Amino acid sequence: MIGELIRQMFRRPFTNLFPAKYAPSSPSRFVEAVKKGEIKINPPIETPPGFRGKIVYDREKCIGCRLCTKVCPSDAIEYIEDKKKIRIYVNRCTFCAQCTDACPVNALSMSNEFLLSTTDKNSKDLIVE
């Protein structure tokens, strides 16, 4: 165990720097930095089948039945009365997928997108409509 501990002290971390604020300002600068070894990047881990990431809403399919709003345990789905459509606040979502199971027309699904961290809880990226 002591040997493993000492070995780990001299190995680089297996995780990438996160969040993205540590990345260089432009993609070209990023590539350059990786090539020069200034940034060590491990390959991203592939998400497994059935992964529950950011919700995807197919507005065209939605028939405005409201079932998703009734099953959502975190009150993350707002019903827009005049449009008969919904709006999802990802900052409240617990990624339970109950709404996707309840939707009768498969207008909701879970993507494999999981890099959702932000300092702005009202970011447009966290509103799905």
Instruction: List residues binding ligand SF4 (CB under 6 A).
Output: 55, 62-68, 71-74, 76-77, 86, 88, 93-99, 102-103, 105, 107-108
Instruction: For residue 15, give both structure tokens.
Output: 């995780």
Of the pair 30, 79, the CB lying nearest ligand SF4 is at 79
Compute the least distance from the CB of residue 117 to ligand SF4, in Å.
Answer: 17
Q: How far apart are CA 52 and CA 129, in angstroms?
A: 18
- 3-state DSSP assignment of residue 86: strand
Compute the least distance from the CB of residue 70 to ligand SF4, in Å.
Answer: 9
Of the pair 39, 97, the CB lying nearest ligand SF4 is at 97
Compute the least distance from the CB of residue 87 to ligand SF4, in Å.
Answer: 11
**Do residues 78 and 86 touch, judged by C-beta distance below 8 A?**
yes
Helix (H) or strand (E) holding 3: helix 2-9
Compute the least distance from the CB of residue 128 to ligand SF4, in Å.
Answer: 9
